[in-house]
């Protein structure tokens, strides 16, 4: 049958409570005892019963990852974060559950409450754009549920992980400037996502620093999707004075821009330089491959989860800044 903690205790010649202490890395166990118990656990391939642990110890060893399945066209991004969160949870022997919550729905908070009451997660990982939903954050604090955020809009004392997206956006626009481009367009993402704001801010910063005043016609709204990139590009290519380069706020839109360039007979990068943001797998498969900013989504999910787990263990958590890296590839070249 199943090996229980009691069996391990008998094998190691100690009380069940001592085995429990070893299992939970508690203090006040001599190294010798700890080692003996560890050996017994190993030998018997002991697996603690999560339900028993959770029932007796009043914690669930469960982390819930919340995401919005309404406003998230870039599902690759979420899948990667999910992978990272899962990796961290596994490493710490926590289990993870995913919860899609439609932020725009009226019963958003109610559904969140139900999640907590039904599953008792020890903590929660928030993904954009849920990271910035004020009523939810309030409720999390009220119910005293620890949480960590991936790319939260407001940094403050939030725990989690972030990248300096504004700096990254500025850097990629500077790359275009160095290539001699002056008429550089920007395709914005979904308006209220933090990512859209920062990337736009970075674009503006770089342009201003180069002494170029903003041309409103060169800044067009998109929605993070391939289709919205195509639309935005058509708008740009219909201008009397076309841009020579386009910085799209993510790779999907950049791909759309490249697509539309084909429609207009513009060769990339000869007639038009295009760059994106995210370094999705797609960006490397395109021809020419897309110049973009690498955002380590998987790593970011992992880090957010690790910060959360650190808090759950009673240690402090912090907002970790991850570095970005420019991926200069074939889609950008010297201005025509």
Partner DNA sequence: GGCAGGAATGACAGCGCTGTCAATTTGCAT
Partner DNA sequence: ATGCAAATTGACAGCGCTGTCATTCCTGCC
Interface contacts to a copy of itself, rule CB under 8 A:
45, 47, 49-52, 54-55, 60, 69, 73, 75-76, 78-79, 82-83, 86, 93, 95-98, 100, 117-120, 225-227, 230, 256, 259-260, 262-263, 281-282, 284-287
Question: Could you check whether the bond before residue 288 is cis, i.e. omega within 30 degrees of 0?
Answer: yes
Instruction: Name the minimum Å distance from CB 44 to DNA.
Output: 11
Determine if 291 is a binding residue for DNA (CB under 7 A).
no
Nearer to a copy of itself, 24 or 321 (CB): 24
Q: Which does 73 bind (CB under 5 to 8 A by kind): a copy of itself, DNA, none?
A: a copy of itself
- Pick the binder of DNA from 10, 38, 44, 53 (CB under 7 A): 53
Q: Which does 29 bind (CB under 5 to 8 A by kind): a copy of itself, DNA, none?
A: DNA
Determine if 58 is a binding residue for DNA (CB under 7 A).
yes
Q: Which does 230 bind (CB under 5 to 8 A by kind): DNA, a copy of itself, none?
A: a copy of itself
Q: Which does 117 bind (CB under 5 to 8 A by kind): a copy of itself, DNA, none?
A: a copy of itself
Nearer to DNA, 24 or 69 (CB): 24
What residues make contact with DNA under the rule CB under 7 A? Answer: 2, 4-6, 13-21, 23-24, 27-30, 32-33, 46-49, 52-53, 55-58
């Amino acid at each position: 049958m199943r090996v229980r903690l009691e069996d391990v205790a008998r094998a190691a010649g100690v009380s069940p409570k001592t085995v429990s202490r070893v299992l939970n890395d508690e203090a006040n166990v001599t190294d010798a005892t700890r080692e003996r118990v560890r050996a017994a656990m190993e030998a018997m391939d002991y697996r603690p019963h999560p339900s028993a642990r959770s029932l007796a110890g009043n914690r669930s060893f469960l982390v819930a990852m919340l995401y919005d399945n309404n406003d998230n066209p870039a599902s690759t991004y979420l899948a990667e974060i999910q992978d990272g969160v899962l990796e961290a949870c596994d490493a710490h022997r926590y289990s993870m559950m995913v919860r899609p919550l439609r932020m725009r729905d009226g019963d958003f908070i109610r559904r969140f409450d139900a999640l907590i009451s039904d599953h008792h997660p020890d903590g929660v990982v928030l993904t954009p754009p849920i990271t910035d939903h004020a009523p939810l954050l309030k409720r999390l604090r009220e119910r005293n549920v620890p949480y960590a955020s991936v790319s939260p809009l407001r940094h403050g004392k939030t725990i989690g992980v972030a990248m300096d997206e504004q700096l990254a956006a500025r850097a990629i626009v500077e790359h275009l400037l160095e290539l001699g481009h002056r008429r550089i367009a920007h395709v914005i993402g979904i308006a209220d996502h933090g990512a859209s704001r920062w990337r736009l801010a970075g674009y503006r910063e770089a342009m201003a620093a180069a002494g170029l005043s903003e041309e409103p016609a060169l800044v067009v709204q998109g929605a993070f999707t391939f289709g919205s990139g195509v639309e935005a590009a058509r708008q740009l290519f219909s201008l009397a004075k076309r841009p020579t380069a386009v910085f799209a706020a993510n790779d999907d839109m950049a791909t759309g821009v490249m697509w539309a360039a084909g429609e207009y007979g513009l060769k990339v990068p000869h007639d038009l330089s295009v760059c994106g943001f995210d370094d999705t797998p797609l960006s490397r498969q395109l021809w020419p491959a897309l110049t973009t900013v690498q955002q380590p989504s998987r790593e970011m999910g992992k880090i957010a989860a690790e910060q959360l787990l650190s808090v759950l263990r009673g240690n402090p958590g912090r907002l970790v800044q991850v570095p970005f890296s420019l991926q200069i590839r074939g889609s950008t070249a010297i201005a025509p």
